[in-house]
Amino acid sequence: MSTAAPAYLDYNATAPIRPGALEALTASLVSGGNPSSVHATGRAARRRIEAARSAVAALVNGLASDVIFTSGGTEANNLAILGSKPRCVVASAVEHDAVLAPAHSSGAEVRLIRVDRDGRLDLEHLEQLLATAPREGTLVSVMLANNETGVIHPVAEVAARARARGAIIHCDAVQAAGKIAIDIGALNVDLLTLSAHKLGGPQGAGALVARVDVDPVQRGGGQERGLRAGTENVAAIVAFGAAAEAALAELSTFAQLAGLRDDLERRIAALAPDVVFHGGACARLPNTSCIGTVGLPAETQVMALDLAGVAVSAGAACSSGKLRPSHVLTAMGHAEDAARAAIRVSLGWGTTPADIDRCVEAWSALYRRTRTAKSAA
C-alpha cells in the first residue's frame, strides 16, 4: 500500500472542503446563535444565513428569496417532488436515486425518458410521454449533468417542451453546480436542487431553489418560510455560501480540468484499446470520466487503485457498496457485465497533473497484470 498522500479523484462523490468554507464553518460554530432568536446573537446568525442565501442564489443567477435550505440534495429532491404532489412524474432513466426513489414513492405514475448509448436524452420519447400525461399535475424532472458519466442534458429544451404541455419542471443540478455556469432563468425550470459538499462545502447542507409553490414535507417550527421545519444548520449553511461564492469565481479555472481529464483518457486509450469512455461522445462536465473495461470488475479496479493511493468510485459513490450494476449504464443500453465494469474518475479544485500521472500508472499496472494473466490462462 502506498504511504504517499492519496490522489483524490472522487470529487463527484464529495469534494474536499475549500479553505474559505472551512474558515466560515469554524467561525460560525464559534459564534453560535439560533437564527430564530430575536436577541443580538440570534440576529447575527440570521444575517449569516441570509448572506449565504444570497451567495447560493448567485451561483445559479437566481433570487435569494427562492432559496430554501435543506440538509442536502436528497432532501431538496424529496421536497421538490413530494412537495409538488404530482399525479405523473416524467424523469430521465438516468436520474439519481434521490429523484427516482421519491418519484416512485409519491403515488404518482412514473414515466422514464429513454437515453441512447452515449447517454443523450431521447427528446422525441419525451414528447411521446408528455402527449398522454395529465395536463395538470405532471412534473418533469431531468438532471443538468449525470453524476456517473458527466453527460450534460439539454434542460432548457426539455423545459420548453414540458411547458407546452403545462408541466412543472424540476432540475437536479447537484453535480453541475460549481462546474459549469448555471442560469436558472435560462434553464426555465421551476425547481432546482443544489448540494454543498459537491462543490467544496460541508456535508449536511443543500438547497432547493423554488420558483413555484411547494408543500412542506417536514413540518414543525416553520423555518425556511414554513417549507423546511427545524433549526437551520447555521455553520454548514454559512460554509455552503462561502463554497458557492468561491466556486462561482473559479468557474473558468474549473473548465480547465477538461485538459487533465482528456490527458487521462488519451493515455489510457493508448494502452487499452478495448476501454470505453461512457458518454465521451457527448458534452460532459469538464471533470468527469466514466471508464469501462469489460472483464475487469469495477470493485477490482477501485480496490487496486486504492491500494496504490488513488481514490475513485465504482459508479455513484452512494451505491458503490451495493452489488448491482449501474442503472445509468444499463439505461444507456450496456450489458450487465459492462455496467459492472465501469469506474468513475472525477477531478476537482485541488487536482494536479501529478494526480493524473499516479492514476494512469496505477490503472495501467492493473490492466497489464489482468491482461497478462488472461493470456496465460
* Catalytic site positions: 318
Backbone angles phi, psi at 127, to 5 degrees: -60, -40
Contacts of 352 (CB under 8 A, 6+ apart): none
How many Å apart are CA 77 and CA 74, to the nearest integer?
Answer: 5
Residue type, 127: E
Q: Which of 275, 282, 287 is nearest to 342 (CA)?
A: 275
Rounded (5°) CA angle 339-12-158: 75
205 vs 120: CA distance, rounded Å: 30
Kind of pairing, strands 342-346 and 288-292? antiparallel
Return the HEC string of the chain: CCCCCCEECECCCCCCCCHHHHHHHHHHHHHCCCCCCCCHHHHHHHHHHHHHHHHHHHHCCCCHHHEEEECCHHHHHHHHHHHHCCCEEEEECCCCHHHHHHHHHCCCEEEEECECCCCCECHHHHHHHHHCCCCCCEEEECCCECCCCCEECCHHHHHHHHHHCCCEEEEECCCCECCECCCHHHHCCCEEEEEHHHCCCCCCCEEEEECCCCCCCCCCCCCCCCCCCCCCCHHHHHHHHHHHHHHHHCHHHHHCHHHHHHHHHHHHHHHCCCCEEECCCCCECCCEEEEECCCCCHHHHHHHHHHCCEECECCCHHHCCCCCCCHHHHHCCCCHHHHCCEEEEECCCCCCHHHHHHHHHHHHHHHHHHHHHHHHC
